[in-house]
Amino acid sequence: MLSRRNWLTKTAALATGVGLLKPASAGSVNNASMEENNSGIYNVKASGAKGDGKTLDTKAIQSAIDTCYKNNGGTVFFPPGIYIAGTLELKSNVTLYLSAQATLMGTTDGTKYVAAAEIPLTGDSTLIDGNVGFIYAVNAENIGIEGMGTIDGKGASFRSPSKGEPSPAGISGAQRPYHILLYKCTNVHIKDIFLKDSAYHSVRVIQSDYLKFSGLRINGRVIHNNDGFHFISCKYVHVHACDVRTQDDACALFGSCQYVTVSDSTFSTRWSVFRFGGGFVQHITITNCTIYETYGCPIKIYCSRGSRFEDITFSNLIMKDVTGPIHIGISEKKSSSVTGDHLPPGRLQRITFSNIQASIVAPRPLPDAAFQSAYRPGEMRSCIVLNAFDDNFMEDISFQDIQLSFPGGGTEAEASAEVPKIAGEYFEIGTPPAYALFARNVKGLSISNLRLKVATPDARPAMVLDQLENAVISLLTAGAQGSPSVLRLKNCTDVLIVSPRVLNPATVFAAIEGADTRNIKIEGGDLTKVKSRIQLQQVPPAEVKTTE
């Protein structure tokens, strides 16, 4: 890495014409000067790039990268200009640096993009969705992309006018290029760049380690599948101070992602922000982030057979105008990222949510999207969902210092509906029977200082708790107008409810049902606005105790 003083010294020398900031003459490539460069800085114009917004500069830029790589690495420098290119390969020990008024623009001719043959499309099925990158690297180390410039994928040219028709660029589906595609790379840093209108995901990273992303601005709402970050089985990943506005997942973590931190960033998307699926996922910390205008559930965790999720923490989050906001499901289906016929049940444990404020709304059109999305009935009134079933249980789930507001509007029919045994997308269960939390098959649920507000009457209870074991709910503030009960418990055991407060009149605080109910205790609190503390249905009276 260059020190600031060395960088200024070298760039000043180059700018005076001593080095390679001096462009080559028209139609020539100054290979001798490139070979003799001792500064470690390689100007793409010295290798013949025009940067005029008209010329295809792919060969010239690749030549600068290759020369830099051959000379033991350095920086490939883009002075102000618009550089049009197809697929470029980034190599070990090379950093691309885009100056503030430099734009690296993807060509709209789809034939100029080349698949990376080294990235397999068979085997691990999580990889079967494309191996084409605008900028890609395979088995590279010590690589980077920096600067205040722009990488423009011209993604709108890759959107088909209708399903089955070719796009203006001539390619679609998995043939579209990612902004940045990395496979089995080590020690990667990408910072400050503006990633604009990708034709696919903006940052797609597979089986790579020691990754740093900071100060990025990602904006992509011109095509379907505009993911922001999409990591597959990556370790030691750090995302910091990024702004992401996407059409699809803003920060997906699939496969076995471990030791990941995401902090001090903002996100908005039609779909989810933090989406997890498959593999062995552990040691994930997400903190100090703002999520807004997200109409597809900000946090989604899908644990399938053969997968494990543990030690994941979400803290200090603000969610403004979102659906969801949290959906965790365990399924009997096999994970696509785990092979084998005899897989153990999925295991999910030690997931913590703390200091979160969220306003939940019905989904709306994204104001800056190039096209509008349809919304399903299950997306219109949503809540936090913890959904396991049959012999599957999630363990040790914690919510602390959470403040949520909901639009209301739930009906009596929705309140009494049974939740289907589906653990996929959050909307697939339909409208949940609770306006704030539905939890099924959870061992070790801890809720402390949960404050709920509802804008309009809602006939659903605040919580429906089904087959919980060992749960503590303390300092709950809830109660919607029109809801006959605040809580509904079904076949729960060892549940302690301490110091609840009910805001609006209700018939009963806790409707408790099921012959398998055991050891339910309600202690203290302000329940003056309910007519009855408990209502029992097929429950042995000795198993429920209340104290003022």
CB of 437 within 8 A of CB of 463?
yes
The strand pair at 485-490 and 493-498 is best described as unpaired
Backbone dihedral region for residue 414 (phi beyond 0: left; psi -120 to 50: alpha; all else: beta): alpha
pLDDT for res 127:
53
pLDDT for res 368:
87
Domain boundaries, the chain: 1-85, 302-337+344-548
pLDDT for res 16:
32
CB of 275 within 8 A of CB of 300?
yes
pLDDT digits (tens, 9 = 90+) for 409-432: 999 999 999 998 888 888 888 999
For the chain, the distance separating the N- and C-terminal CA atoms, rounded to the nearest angstrom, is 66
Strands (E), 388-436: 394-406
Indicate the helix (H) or strand (E) that contains 437: strand 437-454
Q: Hey, which residues does 513 pair with through a beta bridge?
A: 490, 537
pLDDT for res 34:
45
Q: Hey, which residues does 244 pair with through a beta bridge?
A: 218, 267
pLDDT for res 479:
84
pLDDT for res 123:
52
Strands (E), 389-436: 394-406
pLDDT for res 345:
86
- The SS3 call for residue 73 is coil
User: Which tokens in the block code for residue 122?
Assistant: 């068979």
Residues in the chain with pLDDT values less than 50: 1-2, 4-5, 7-36, 125, 337-338
DSSP letter string, 240-301? ES-EEEESS-SEEEESS-EEEEEES-EEEESS-SEEEESSEEEEEEEEEEEEEEE-S-SEEE
Task: For tokens 């959107």, name the residue.
Answer: 159
Q: Which residues of 17-31 are buried (b: 16+ CB within 10 A; e: fewer)?
A: eebbbbbbeeeebbe
DSSP letter string, 471-532? EEEES-EE--TT-SEEEEEES-EEEEEES-EE-S-EEEEEEEE-TT-EEEEEE-SB-TTEEE
What is the rounded CA–CA span in Å between residue 463 and residue 497?
Answer: 13
